[in-house]
Structure 1
């Protein structure tokens, strides 16, 4: 079942002085199936972050459509967008985006508080999630009192507690050491196996090697894609690294 459809997406920015048009996305089309784990890769300036922002309804395209379960998110009224995000999307960012004045528990609860949920239901949702993410013992601490890996696990809990249709991750391992990154990627694999659809933007071939499909963006277009098939993580990593090298040197075929 198709969850997300991106159709002929275009995004053009105007320079600050208004003299030039800069294309960020020129013609991006792809779909994501429910339960899929998709990684998007590309060099800096390739358009992948712009693409993620549009899918997240944080930016508007110049042309094309983004459909979530058939609903055109570009037609959602501005005043309804925040509610749409809370109900449908979970976000995991490179820099965690936790509030230092809130305990970790309250950071996780925040999207539920904004939606008006009762405290008893919030606690019921958090209990199994905290156990799965191994954060039960730190919920009363504050972000500045825990490690980067713990912060990111809390961020994952905040993203997942709303039971989102789509989990969006922007360079989720970028601020983590290698051990914490591996732990986070293990968690992503686990929640994906449990049915969570994930769309992740990353520079890391190691992170992308955990996905079921990798989409490569170059010059604002989908240039290439790679399916896992029966590959191991190690074989997937090698294939991704080879593809990135080929893209950088102009040796890969578009497709």
Structure 2
């Protein structure tokens, strides 16, 4: 069953005085099944960020529609949109987006606080997640006191604590060293195997090779897609690399 459906997305930006029109998305359609782990790749300017912003209900398409768990995002009013995001979406960003004046625990609690949940309930939600992510011993520390890998695990905990329909990850390994990246990708694989749907935008072939499917965006359209099947990470890495080379050299769909 599809948790996310994208149909005919088109996005045109117009400059302030209407002098220039930039078409960021032309005709993007795809679906993400519940429990899938999908990576989206493409060069800078290909439309990945625009697509992610529309999926996150941070922007509206010029044409087309997005359905999340059967509800059209266009039907969600501006008044409802913040609550809708908290209830359905978890976000993991490249730069963590943690507040330095809040402890790690309070950063993780933030979406639940905004939803009006009470401390005992929040604490009950946090404990199993903190144990799974290995961050129980840093909950009372502040973001400036912990490593980048620990910050990203805290950000993942914040994304998971609302039990979202889907996690949207924007370059989640971009600010991490190789060891922390490997740890995060292993963690994503684990939570995906437990049933969490993940959609990740990344420039990293290594990160994408951990997904079950890769969508390639070029010039505002879905250029191609690859399914992992029974391939190992190394085999999938090579297939992704070959497709990126074909895209860069103007080759036909792989």
Assess same fold via TM > 0.5: yes
Instruction: Give RMSD over aligned pairs.
Output: 0.8
Query: What is the 5 A alignment of 1:90-239?
Result: 90-239=90-239
Distance 2:159 2:16 in 1: 34
Report the Cα offset of residue 17 of structure 1. 4.0
For residue 18 of structure 1, report the CA deviation from its aligned partner: 2.2
CA distance in 1, matches of 2:156, 2:227: 25
Which deviations, in whole Å up to 9, do the C-alpha atoms of 1:129-154 show, x marking residues without a partner? Answer: 10111101000000011110000000
Counterpart Cα distance in 1 of 2:102 and 2:96: 13
Partner of 1:63: 63
TM-score, length basis structure 1: 0.98
Q: Is the CA contact 1:243–1:252 (under 8 Å) kept in the aligned structure 2?
A: no
1:80-122 deviation digits (Å, cap 9, x = unpaired): 0000000000000000000010000000000001111111111
Name the CA distance, whole Å, in 1 between partners of 2:15 and 2:173.
Answer: 31
SS state of the match for residue 91, structure 1? strand
Runs of 4+, deviation exceeding 6 Å? none
Structure 1, unmatched stretches of 5+, are none
C-alpha displacement of 1:252: 3.1
Aligned to 2:253: 253
Instruction: Provide, for residues 57-92 of structure 1, a one-character-per-residue CA deviation record: whole Å limited to 9, x for no partner.
Output: 000000000001211011210010000000000000
Q: Is there any run of 5+ residues in structure 2 with no aligned partner, and where? A: none
CA–CA separation in structure 2 for the residues paired with 1:169 and 1:217: 16
Contact 1:173 1:207 in 2 (8 A): yes
Which residue of structure 1 aligns with residue 86 of structure 2?
86
1:36 aligns to 2:22 (yes or no): no
> For 2:107 and 2:205, how far apart are their aligned partners in 1?
30
Once residues 101 and 252 of structure 1 are traced to their aligned partners in structure 2, the CA distance between those partners, rounded to angstroms, is 51
Distance 1:8 1:250 in 2: 24
User: What is the aligned residue count?
Assistant: 254
CA distance in 2, matches of 1:104, 1:2: 33
Distance 2:112 2:198 in 1: 20
TM-score (norm 2): 0.99
